[in-house]
Structure 1
């Protein structure tokens, strides 16, 4: 890599980390429900806990904003890399190409920022919404595959965690199916490991039949453990 490429990559990773670290679930929960989402339900700042502890509207907004920050990160930086480093040659950024790993690294830092938020003492969400958005901005075909896996896992079981964990595991598999370059897939494998790790408590609850089905908070409901 050239010095110019290294500098742009470092800049993009830092910006992505701080942008994707924005805890929209906490912000929306405070604005819509006037509560600190970290102190109710599971204490997680993600869509599921917002849905259970605040309501459908707040959950939808959290989902949208978390997905949007991931989407814009991979989309914008892919364009920046192509224009600044490769004279507008977007083919060099393709996931099957020699520099497809660069947007893949941005994808990884979007997940790192969300799961280890710099604004919450390196705690955060579990990476599903931001991950879907990041995939949509860079590898939309894989994003559709991820959505399919999530629905197949979550809808019949009514466990969001089942859909989420299955989706994370399927990420590098979809990439391999679509013939992406190994250097593009390696960061995706790390993403899978991070997201599965973020769901470690859910895995324990599933194993002990203690995981709760998905539900929305309704006015007058007491706080539920998420």
Structure 2
């Protein structure tokens, strides 16, 4: 695998050599930052509520809107998206520093046989794991769609806008945020190979796994969708107790 060999040669010592530790520590930092439960924090600050004890009990934007309204939901959405943008780009900088290239070139590092794209995809996976399995909430957290969109923006903003468009269209027609989220990420195994045609197979596989992880996080919503009890999007209706 010549691309991998070239990357390792540029990076210096082996996997546990000194040159790799900044990247490893960057992944750890990404997990810790993406685990910050902004929804719970903003619900406490602006709504005086515990987001884990109302509605779905989730700390994401949708439950923040249902329980606390836009004053809680908007900053939650913004910060959760920025988690993904931050995670991908800080890893991009770490990789660029390792192999002494410009950050913008990391995704294309060594082309289809390379590892730069794979390291960024792993960053996306770490972002989602931090958000969904927050170390600050006993490894419980959000469902990953906002942070996932942030990951896509960190990789390629036109690609992110494509998926954001899919989400908006589905939600506009159905008013079901969970359905829009699921359809948006289930499109990844189709859109990633088409948009990132020149990137490595490992990148494409990991990006598809991101989508599956988000679907898994929505498993309770899938059950509600199947039995017709899923709540529809509302900007005015508020909840003050846990869903049954």
Q: TM-score, normalised by structure 1?
A: 0.92
Give 2:215's aligned residue.
Answer: 196
**Number of the residue aligned with 2:175:** 158
Picking from 54, 62, 69, the partner of 2:68 is: 54
Instruction: Return the match for 2:59 from 25, 39, 45.
Output: 45
> Aligned to 2:141, what secondary structure does the other structure show?
coil
Offset of residue 8 of structure 1: 3.2
Q: Which 5+ residue runs of structure 2 have no aligned equivalent?
A: 1-7, 9-13
Q: Give the Cα separation in 1 of the matches to 2:132 and 2:236.
A: 24
Q: Distance in 2 between matches of 1:6 and 1:108?
A: 19
The answer to whether the Cα contact below 8 Å between 1:70 and 1:107 also exists between their aligned partners in 2 is yes
Match of 2:204 among 173, 182, 185: 185
Q: State the alpha-carbon separation in 2 of the partners of residues 216 and 6 from structure 1.
A: 47
Question: 2:98: which partner in 1?
Answer: 85
Asked if 2 retains the 8 angstrom alpha-carbon contact of 1:12 and 1:106, the reply is: no
Judged with a 3 Å threshold, the aligned counterparts in structure 2 of structure 1 residues 103 and 128 are, in CA distance, closer, same or farther, namely same
- CA deviations 1:109-161 (Å, max 9, x no partner) are 00000000000011000001111112101222221121011112211000000
Provide the rounded CA distance (Å) in 1 between the counterparts of 2:167 and 2:19. Answer: 35
Give the CA deviation at 1:217: 4.7
Q: 1:214 aligns with which of 227, 230, 233?
A: 233
The alignment partner of 2:187 has SS state of helix
Q: Which runs of 4+ in 1 moved over 4 A?
A: none
Cα 1:106/1:150, change in 2 over 3 Å: same
- CA deviation vs aligned residue, 1:187-206 (integer Å, no higher than 9, x gap): 21221121000000000000
**Partner residue in 1 for 2:37:** 23
Count the aligned residue pairs. Answer: 223
Task: State how far apart, in whole Å, the 2-side matches of 1:24 and 1:10 are.
Answer: 25
Q: Residue 137 of structure 1 aligns with which residue?
A: 154
C-alpha distance in 2, partners of 1:77/1:217?
A: 39
1:13 aligns with 2:27: yes
Q: d(CA) in 1 for partners of 2:207 and 2:143?
A: 15
SS of match in other structure, 1:101: helix
SS at match of 1:100: helix
TM-score under structure 2 normalisation?
Answer: 0.85
